[in-house]
Chain A
Amino acid sequence: MSLAPERRDLIVLVIFAAVVLAAPVLFKPIGAGYPDLLQKFAIYGIFAIGFNILFGLTGYLSFGHAAFLGVGSYTAVWTFKLLSMNPVPAIILATLVGGAFAAVIGFISLRRTGIYFSILTLAFAQMSYNLAYSVLTPITNGETGLQLNQADPRVLDIAFGRDYGAVLPSSDLFGLDMTGYPGFYFCAVVLILCFFLANRIFRSPFGMMLRAVKSNQNRMNYTGLNTRPYALAAFVISGMYAGLAGGLLAVTDPLAGAERMQWTASGEVVLMTILGGAGTLLGPVLGAGLIKYFENIFSAFNEGILMAGFDFLPETLQHAAVAVSSLFVGEGWHLTLGALFMLIVIFLPGGLMEGINRLVAWIGRRGGGGGGEAPATAPQTAG
């Protein structure tokens, strides 16, 4: 039984939307059913989906995507300060500015390919980060980070007669406060829209062209096709996704700091995408969720919890086990992250989606070939 691709996409989309919207209930058993973390899942999911449009489809490995996230955050906070606390203009502007910034950087970086491209994007991101920390302090508020202020003008809010009084406002959608679950559902709706859009891009002739760029750029050039506009378009789109994610970060917590642009942050989104499976639709969201989940769980662990966890062991063994495993949790969460990074690249370069597909195929074969073709939820990567 094989479905038409359009039918299958629709089913995937519906299931995806259902899972995202039911997330507070579904993730409760694993201890992730609270809005702060769910918001992060959704936001970094958007970030990773966008990164995947560039890396997964065209194969250009950008090491500077955090710059767009940071720019998006700054834009959103400035929109809050100057125009309105309503999140809609904030994320629209964040998306646009992120895209414009990506257009400039992409225009230059895409003149080169391969590792040169990675270094160029890295150079630009580090440049933005350094500038945000130093000279651009009037715009970015340097080390402290950009924050809201009671005395902000908020022209639109004033024009519509909204007065926040003497408290520090938080963003709200026409009176609906954007913290807690309403904030999550706002992000969730945006995530579903972004997922749908990515799906359309993957299936479009444009997406096909991007995959052609990845599999053999030379041949594309020989056929007389200028590939750069396509790559640039992909770069800008992924920059817009990153800007949007940055804007949403500011919506849920109106604060923007330069450390969001640091290159370790760029590395993180690369990891999310690879972990989930570059070039697949669902993979990046899965990767983003896993990384943020484990970050949250692992960094909350401490010796007390570990001691309780290894209670079944004899005492000396218990201490040894705690000593070893405490390297990997709490402050040492990054060690786990790095090790995970290596394991995934070494053993599963196709990411979790590849693992799932392999597993499904294996089960299908064991079941006497009854299932036949695996009901792959994600399109196969090209090349």
Chain B
Amino acid sequence: MDAILLQVLNGLDKGGAYALIALGLTIIFGTLGVVNFAHGALFMLGAFCAVSFKSLISLEKVTLDPTQKTAWGTPLEIREAYVESWFGDAGTLLINYSVPVSLLLAIPTMLLIGIAMERGLIRFFYKRPHAEQILVTFGLAIVLQEIVKSVFGANPIPQPAPDVAKGMIDFGVAIGFDAGNVVYPAWRLIYFLFSISIVGAVFAFLRFTSFGMVVRAGMADRETVGLLGIDIDRRFTIVFGIAAIVAGLAGVMYTPILSPDYHMGMDFLVLSFVVVVVGGMGSLPGAVAAGFLLGILQSFASMNEVKAILPGIDQIVIYLIAVIILLVRPRGLMGRKGVMEH
């Protein structure tokens, strides 16, 4: 029982990332009708927002102290980050909490990137075939990741979680298991809660604001909304920006779990597309549910007990599920009729 619980927990953080990326993909697909292969790159860019913020606030002032010598006989270098020398303890705190704080940087950055992408490229592809949308966004994804590679290098750049979240949480005690059985890294739990709240925020935005109402209407029937005299173009640009923010924030918070490198977006993109298809093209709850479901299934498949029976299952379980779902329920778990069927 506790082993099962642990695997469910293990799947939740990855599932959260899948769900957030798939959510953005579905929103873009539902409103704009565009298959965005560059969405993984947005996730990656979000992660590198965290990296840039961290390296920005950790800029160091180097002073030589001639009174002290190192083992090599050279004067000792004293390094102090500028923010620490300027703000004292507040600066130290800022460096410690660099990942959550960089969310604040990521929101405007991702919004700008999203809007620039939509205005500069995607809008010319609304009327073009899906194959061409896939190809052009695939090209864009390559370009973005190569730019990141040339700026930040090819190696993963570790991002530490804040000290308070570095430890483990003995999760089992809270629900009545013996201590030490269900121990879980705190940051992963935070990531799960974070992804749930972002999903909740997006859903609330779509349900309770008039902007969201228009977006939902647009997803249901784009033409009619346009005929009602609503400026779809402007709203769609913002929708794309929102989807970019969601992917970017997912990337920022994921950095302590997986050290970001330039191709992390591609790795997540393929899986997120599978998630979208499993959930049902155009269904937001489907995307979220499938994200968590596949995350959990993947973590179950990587249990040693399962691998002993079916070797290699952990590598392919998501694709296998996708194949089965597409063959048994061609519209995915919660897909609607008439979406992407022509």
Contact = CB atoms under 8 A, between A and B. Distances in A.
Contacts of A108: 323, 327
B330 A116 contact: yes
A114 B316 contact: no
B35 A115 contact: yes
Contact of A124 (B131, B146, B319): B319
A263 B316 CA distance: 15
B146 A338 contact: yes
Contacts of B150: 327, 331-332, 335
Contacts of A327: 147, 150
B312 A131 contact: yes
B45 to A, nearest CB: 15
Interface string A153-178: 00000000000000000000000000
Given A115-B35, A123-B322, A127-B320, A341 B138 contact: yes
Nearest to A270: B135
A230 to B, nearest CB: 19
B342 interface: yes
A46 B55 CA distance: 48
B322 A134 contact: no
Contacts of B270: 122, 126, 263
B139 interface: yes
A342 B136 contact: yes
B142 A345 contact: no
Given A111-B327, A342-B140, A345-B139, A116 B340 contact: yes
Interface in B297-324: 311-312, 315-316, 319-320, 322-323
A120 B323 contact: yes
A309 B274 CA distance: 46
Contacts of A106: none
The SS class assigned to the A binding surface is helix
A327 B281 CA distance: 37
Contact of B342 (A114, A127, A274): A114
A151 interface: no
Contacts of A126: 270, 319
A299 interface: no
B232 interface: no
Contacts of B323: 108, 120, 123-124
Nearest to A105: B323
Given A338-B146, A349-B132, A116 B277 contact: yes
A136 B140 CA distance: 34
A297 interface: no
Contacts of B35: 115
Contacts of A122: 270, 273
B130 interface: yes
Given A114-B130, A135-B311, A338 B140 contact: yes
B141 interface: yes
A135 B315 contact: yes
A127 B147 contact: no
A341 B138 CA distance: 8
A270 B135 CA distance: 8
B138 to A, nearest CB: 6
B273 to A, nearest CB: 6
A332 B146 contact: yes
A16 interface: no
B315 A134 contact: yes
B342 A267 contact: no
Interface string B140-180: 11110011011000000000000000000000000000000
18 contacts: A59-B131, A111-B326, A111-B330, A114-B130, A116-B326, A123-B319, A123-B322, A131-B316, A135-B315, A263-B270, A270-B135, A327-B147, A335-B143, A337-B142, A338-B140, A340-B139, A345-B132, A345-B139
Given A122-B270, A335-B150, 4 more contacts: A119-B326, A127-B316, A135-B312, A345-B136
Interface of B: 35, 121, 124, 128, 130-132, 134-136, 138-143, 146-147, 149-150, 266, 270, 273-274, 277, 281, 311-312, 315-316, 319-320, 322-323, 326-327, 330, 340-342
